[in-house]
Amino acid sequence: MDSQFFAIRVTGGQEENVANFIYKNAILNENEVYSLTYLTSQKGYLIVEAKSGQDIREAIAGIRHVKELVPGLLKIEDFDKLLIKKPTITEYSVGEVVDIVMGPFKGMKAKITKIDLSKMEVTVMLLDAPYPLSLTVDSSYLKPPKNR
Amino acid sequence: MPKESACRKCKALTSGKVCPICSSTDLTSRWSGLIIILDPERSKVAQMLNIKNKGRYAIEVS
């Protein structure tokens, strides 16, 4: 039989703790729970993949911060796009003009001269500076221009 | 409990300095989201993400 996806409503901020408790419970009770997922965009909810609702009810029994097992089933298509997230650095390319959104150079435009994927750092040349100024920043400091 | 680190290659979470899955030392403390795989063979999530081992994984690693 295929696995089924259920949502569990939990206390906000306790999602990871609850997931860890369900994980331990499911192993102890030998419930057929296959995976637990916490999406940061869905605060207060956990997605549990299991053979049946009964397996989940047993695994969540007695765990604090679990509010309810949401009635109904989820499909993997409902949340699969939220599971695969590409790091923002892969969106950039050398030569592209970007906006700096953090740090002392916030608000300036810069041209990308080098991308270091292993360190998630980008070297840029400031365009608004009166003289050529090169700096290496974290990719989170940059934002693609709006008219991309 | 100290915050765990995530492997940049396979996204596995560990409290050590080496990834328990791929033995990489390229770890980061900047991660978000959580997937716990209990049965990689039967889990559709594990199959979709090509996860072959049980364990805890981050969804987003930076």
What pLDDT does A67 receive?
94
Residues 41-80 of A with CB under 8 A from B: 49, 76, 80
Strand B5-7 to A97-100 pairing: unpaired
CATH number for the domain that contains residue B33 = 2.20.28.90
Q: In DSSP terms, which residues pair with B61 in a beta bridge?
A: B31
Hey, are the CB atoms on A76 and B49 less than 8 Å from each other?
no
ipTM value greater than 0.95: no
Please tell us whether the domain made up of A4-83 is placed in CATH 3.30.70.940.
Answer: yes
Number of domains in chain B: 1
pLDDT tens digits, one per residue of A65-122: 999 999 999 998 888 888 876 667 777 889 999 998 888 888 889 999 999 887 778 9
Hey, are the CB atoms on A34 and B62 less than 8 Å from each other?
no
Q: What is the pTM of this model?
A: 0.73
pLDDT reading at A1 higher than 60: no
Of B36, B42, B45, nearest to A83 by CB-CB distance is B45
- Dihedral sign, Cα of residue A48, residue A49, residue A54, residue A55: negative
**Interatomic CA distance for residues A110 and A126, integer angstroms:** 4
| Contact present, A26 and A60 (Cβ < 8 Å) | no
- Structure confidence at residue B1 as a pLDDT band (50, 70, 90): low
The architecture in CATH of the region A88-143 reads Roll (2.30)
Domain spans in chain A, listed from the N-terminal domain onward: 4-83, 88-143
pLDDT reading at B53 higher than 90: yes
